[in-house]
Structure 1
């Protein structure tokens, strides 16, 4: 290359650097440079924001000139939010001159691969302004890996929400959180992944965080919580007949009996709006905030806004709704994926304030009339043991008699000594008659397994068992005993320690059914009874989970992963009450009468005046006799027979 040529090239480069920069918004950049790939779009070709006008404000809030820091989008599926996020990435790579490290967080490795190969790579290849800067063909180089793109002016990282080390490693300016409802609430014991991400952004005053997701279950949905703290914007369209603005909601979509005709009824005057009016509706739409003063921008979008040809039609949506009428799982899927709303399951729909109002004025560790059987459940944590003692009575009634947390490291003997002392102290009636504990279940899952096994082996209290939650749904609260001790060669020890699996879903079904059934019932008619002296966090912990029909399991509510011991310990106490030597489910009315009369005398009968039993109760015999040990035989005995 000649000197003149070198000089001309240098002047062109210098001129491009000194030329005044045109400040584009994200939507303007996308309209100018973005090409949609057939790998990820049903309409490949130049991006047109006018096709999805509801995305314009969301994208422009991500522009460098916008002072919005946190943007939340609670949405249904397939409305273009992921492509809008890809537009933002292209905008950052091309328009932001100073180095701005960016992170994309997805829930799984599979989605990370899809982001890289179906979203980012085609976007870079299709935009000339990026293709000349970034060579994505060198995918094995250190600067261009599956989880990293090193481009002129910045770095783009990709990671999963399950990697705490990746979420904490570097400072970040821009972050995209895709499908945030799929993130765990606790990552490797280091807390909420969103909290880890936010701490990494603190060094950048012009930081931005985009969180978008389809919601899941009400109360446990992460995006629902983010939306509730936002200014809650909805896209208002203009009725083509009366001119009134309104957000599109499912309740105003109507159809005839065979779903051949579907229309939208104007919320103001009942005008019939047909789907063919949708292009004009979307073009004239406007985002309106419910809480304008809040700093967090929040947007909600349902499939009702899907442009013609880019999503389900109104008729298809109505058909799906009708077909899902007989299935909670399908209704949840429709509510989440089509309406972009969290599903509220009736199974665990118990109000905390209503439950607190049911608390009764009886002291802890005092058995109430009707209690005929007492068991305990123990949950192990790194720094404490949570213990719940429950009294059981006829007709499915139960009383929480104590809930206490014993501080201490389970690796040390002190906390186990305190547990033995607690379980060994009988619960007394109001007249001082002791009712002994008949069984206790201790969770051995986690990294305290060996400590629990050692305690159960050496414990001399009756029916203290080690348990663990079953990975599958059991048809009983307590599974049969299983051998757990093994010799060095791997052979199980015949008379070694055993453990039981707990049918946690079945037990929680029973608990939440009781709590629902007790609503508006007077105290004598309730199944569940709570003392006013229980610690404040007890009832919240009891309601710490909700049922997810789609996944067929109970899941923690938002932020409740750390304090669900009241729920777990109740489940364990319920499970051990079904021990083969106790069998709560097999007790007959005569068994309950014998037990209750032994402890309370005639006090337990409403028509009789309270009286104190004449003598101390004797230990209760099990309803079902314990299994007999296997009969041993030898050659001489066999010969004699």
Structure 2
């Protein structure tokens, strides 16, 4: 019998037996998903090409290796629609019980009415499976499955029902406990026990605090992936970062910054405009920190708002410059734009505060009543950042000079140059502490050759009772023995700098910068803040970057210079007036390096 003559009942029966199409979530969404005009800025047929970074997240849902997906996201990148596409895929391709958890019951009801039900009604393949008459607002019935929509604040809505697919939205807004019950996420996970081998869990949120649910889950993921995009000029793959990536003229007003900001390639330094972004996103790849694309049982994805096709580079810069000086608005920028956690700050500093600490002296001029100079050098891959700081009584200090060099020879020249007061009294750097973390061999060689004024140091994250500790390094292959290496507890000196910056101008012991100091230096000095974290069940205070990827080289240099001053006994040093002039010839103060290098018993001053 020809197929077109088959009875209708037979055709219906065969349609039921027909297996679903073999599609990934992104393929299904591109073919069947229709966006609602009430909740979408771009209603109509869904296209993953508009937000290509969501393809990898959605398709991980159908990968047999993946049991749980963690998506730490900003606003404006399509994260909620990503979850909704997975939900639609389940209904059409793999019907099984679903639980969707929102922060509150009110949000659950809103999402059901304005997102989930329209999702099914607008797509014909879903509308045919949606049993409207049998459904309630918080319990939707479909062919072969049901979906429970619950609020994290309601233990009753998380009641014991077997579910295979668990979706949790904005988990950082969940209460710590669901009524008198345990953590709502744990309660929801309990529902998946009936499906030990083929369950899927998806949780997403904009991060809030570092100990928040989504960031903790992301940090504990088996694989943490970031979206790498190719430079349109050189092809180098990189992630979009705010610090160091988005460039703008800081002297311009915010509205001009909004119009002129651009992105700079980390490799070729080429200018990347907004028009380049769509092609970069289409050719992007999810990779881990080693540059490999791989999935695991628990796979984490992280994305910031710079990737959003609806956000221009200038808008990101504008949002930062208009919020950076207010903790509340800055927190929103860090959370909602960078998708990074905000931390409870114990010590707060900003770049304006540093610039206010002007000494009144020009760059390169040594302030009056200086006792000695110290230096600090932070060694990087392609350059050396340095600072030179003058020290006076009661640990008062002034930045005389800072900048960067490209060779060891330049560092030697900077540290051996004479620096004079307004009256012509010359000073030289008595002691310079040089970081050995990046290139220890070259640093040891340099310090051994310049041992009269240079010493190698290495930062320690573990508290050292005496603030620093001297060790000895032997390099037999170079014929060098007994090279001094100081282990320095950086947190102590960061506390010292922060406390000295916060002092009133009229109080002794302040920390100052030269007149007309540049903002880049000030921002690096304040790139970290002191926060409270939990470690091994205990709360401890640590210094951490305010935003990942921020430059803090000058802060490290000042830490090293402060250590050098401590090593020379600045706490007990007293200024000595220069001898009066003889025979109408100005007698210069002896070179500071010779005067104070060993004025107190070496390491035993403590």
Short-chain TM bin: 0.5 to 0.7
CA contact (8 A) 2:66 2:299 kept: yes
2:241 corresponds to 1:249: yes
Say which SS state the counterpart of residue 321 (structure 1) adopts. helix
Alignment correspondent of 2:92: 94
Shift of 1:538: 12
> Does structure 2 retain, via aligned residues, the 8 Å contact 1:103–1:156?
yes
Q: Matches of 1:330 and 1:266 in 2, distance apart?
A: 28
Q: Give the Cα–Cα distance (whole angstroms) in 1 for the partners of residues 536 and 49 of structure 2.
A: 51
Alpha-carbon separation, structure 1, partners of 2:27 and 2:302: 23
Which position in structure 2 is the counterpart of 1:103? 99
Equivalent position of 2:203 in the other structure:
211
In the other structure, the counterpart of 1:347 is 346
- Structure 1 position 31 matched with structure 2 position 30: yes
The reply to whether residue 73 of structure 1 matches residue 71 of structure 2 is yes
Name the structure 2 match of 1:83.
Answer: 81
1:170 is aligned to: 161
Q: Summarize deviations over 1:203-258 as a string: whole Å, max 9, x none.
A: 2110000000000122x311110110121100000001111100101111111232
Sort the Cα spacing of 1:227 and 1:11 in 2 relative to 1 into closer, same or farther, 3 A.
Answer: same
Cα deviation digits, residues 383-434 of structure 1 (max 9, x gap): xxxxxxxxxxxxxxxxxxxxxxxxxxxxxxxxxxxxxxxxxxxxxxxxxxxx
How far is 1:520 from its partner? 12
Alpha-carbon distance, 1:185 to partner = 2.0
Is 1:161–1:183's contact at 8 Å kept on the other side of the alignment?
yes
Partner in structure 2 of residue 185 of structure 1: 176
Q: Which residue does 2:16 correspond to in 1?
A: 17
Counterpart among 158, 161, 179 of residue 149 in structure 2 = 158
For 1:99-142, what per-residue CA distance to the aligned partner results, in whole angstroms no more than 9, with x for missing partners?
x1101000022321221122112111110111122244x4xxxx
Select between 259-268 and 50-59 the one with higher mean Cα deviation: 259-268
- Correspondence 1:320 to 2:319: yes
After TM superposition, list the pairs within 5 Å mapping 1:485-634 onto structure 2. Answer: 540=537
Give the 3 Å change call, closer, same or farther, for CA 144–297 of structure 1 in structure 2.
Answer: same
| Cα distance in structure 1, aligned partners of 2:88 and 2:295 | 31
Distance between the aligned counterparts of 1:180 and 1:293, measured in 2? Answer: 22
Deviation at 1:181, TM superposition (A): 0.2
Q: Which runs of 5+ in 1 are unaligned?
A: 350-513, 522-536, 546-641
Deviation, 1:539, is 9.5
Please state whether the residue corresponding to 1:326 is helix, strand or coil. coil
Is 1:304 aligned to residue 297 of structure 2? no
Provide TM-score, normalisation by structure 1: 0.51
Instruction: State how far apart, in whole Å, the 1-side matches of 2:94 and 2:105 are.
Output: 28
**8 Å contact 2:155–2:178 — kept in the other structure?**
yes
Bigger drift between 106-115 and 23-32 goes to 106-115
**Gaps in structure 2 of 5+ consecutive residues:** 349-491, 500-533, 543-606
Runs of 4+, deviation exceeding 6 Å:
516-521
Instruction: Give yes or no for contact 1:236–1:286 (8 Å, CA) kept in 2.
Output: yes
State the distance in 1 between where 2:177 and 2:206 align. Answer: 20
Matched residue, 2:109: 113
1:489 aligns with none
Cα distance in structure 2, aligned partners of 1:150 and 1:190:
27
User: Can you list the C-alpha shifts for 1:437-479, whole angstroms capped at 9, x where unaligned?
Assistant: xxxxxxxxxxxxxxxxxxxxxxxxxxxxxxxxxxxxxxxxxxx
SS in 2 for 1:278: helix
Query: In structure 1, how many angstroms separate the alpha carbons of the residues matched to 2:536 and 2:227?
Result: 38
| CA distance in 2: counterparts of 1:110 and 1:302, whole angstroms | 28
**1:26 offset after TM fit, Å?**
0.9
Distance 1:104 1:20 in 2: 26
Between the aligned partners of 1:47 and 1:538, the Cα distance in structure 2 is: 44
- Per-residue CA deviation, residues 575-620 of structure 1 (Å, 9 max, x unaligned), is xxxxxxxxxxxxxxxxxxxxxxxxxxxxxxxxxxxxxxxxxxxxxx
Asked if residue 124 in structure 1 is aligned to residue 115 in structure 2, the reply is no
Partners of 1:539 and 1:95 lie apart in 2 by: 44
Q: In 2, are the aligned partners of 1:238 and 1:244 still within 8 Å (CA)?
A: yes
Contact 2:98/2:165 (<8 A) preserved: yes
Aligned pairs for 1:59-70 within 5 A: 59-63=58-62, 66-70=64-68
How is 1:193-208 mapped onto 2 (pairs within 5 angstroms)?
193-204=184-195, 205-208=197-200
Deviation, structure 1 residue 342 = 0.5
* Greater Cα shift, 109-118 or 231-240: 109-118
CA distance in 1, matches of 2:98, 2:497: 50
Q: Which residue of 2 aligns with 1:562?
A: none
Among residues 121, 136, 140, which one is paired with 1:145 in the alignment? 136
Matched residue SS, 1:250 = coil
Q: CA offsets, 1:164-194, max 9 Å, x none?
A: 2332411110011000001122223332222
Q: Quickly say closer, same or farther: Cα 1:245–1:542, change in 2 above 3 A.
A: closer
The answer (yes or no) to whether the contact 1:238–1:246 under 8 Å persists in 2 is: yes
Given that residues 26 and 87 in structure 1 are in contact (C-alpha distance below 8 angstroms), is that contact kept between their aligned partners in structure 2?
A: yes
Measure, in 2, the Cα distance between the counterparts of 1:293 and 1:58: 10
SS of residue paired to 2:126? helix
- Report deviation, 1:346: 2.1
RMSD over aligned CA atoms reads 3.0
| Cα contact 1:53–1:282 (8 A) shared by 2 | yes
1:277-288 → structure 2 map (5 Å cutoff): 277-288=276-287
Conserved in 1, the CA contact under 8 Å of 2:347 and 2:498?
Answer: no
3-state secondary structure, aligned to 1:171: coil
Deviates more, 1:157-166 or 1:287-296: 287-296
Deviations 1:472-510 (A, max 9, x none): xxxxxxxxxxxxxxxxxxxxxxxxxxxxxxxxxxxxxxx
**1:66 positional shift:** 3.3
In 1, Cα distance between the equivalents of 2:279 and 2:496?
52
**Alpha-carbon distance between aligned partners in 2 of 1:542 and 1:132, rounded to the nearest angstrom:** 55
1:232 aligned residue (224, 240, 260): 224
Contact 1:60 1:66 in 2 (8 A): no
